[in-house]
């Protein structure tokens, strides 16, 4: 049987830049994210149709969820390509 040891202290994960997060320039002046606004939604898609992560696009977690929901709805409506 092994010895009981103290649990190791975990290091807190930090962002690489360690500065304040920049706001997304694509969402400046946008009140709500509409699934019919294809020009806006295409800014958050790669050329292969995949959704760009929030750490790359610079949006908050709430905005990323709204973008994800709008892109999925637009795909169902046939306005955007299915990735």
Residue that wins the pLDDT comparison between 15 and 30: 30
Tens-place pLDDT, residues 21-46: 667 777 888 888 899 999 999 999 99
Rounded CA-CA distance 52/4 in Å is 45
pLDDT averaged over every residue in the chain: 85
Burial class (CB within 10 angstroms; exposed 0-12, middle 13-18, buried 19+) of 31:
exposed
Domain ranges of the chain: 29-77
Q: What is the pTM of this model?
A: 0.71
In the CATH hierarchy, which top-level class contains the domain 29-77?
A: few secondary structures
């Amino acid at each position: 049987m092994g010895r009981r040891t103290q649990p190791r202290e975990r290091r807190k994960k930090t962002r690489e830049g360690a500065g304040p997060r920049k706001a997304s320039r694509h969402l400046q002046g946008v009140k709500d994210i509409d699934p019919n606004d294809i020009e806006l939604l295409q800014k958050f898609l790669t050329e292969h149709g995949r959704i760009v992560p929030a750490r790359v696009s610079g949006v908050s977690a709430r905005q990323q969820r709204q973008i994800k929901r709008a892109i999925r709805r637009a795909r169902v409506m046939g306005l955007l390509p299915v990735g």
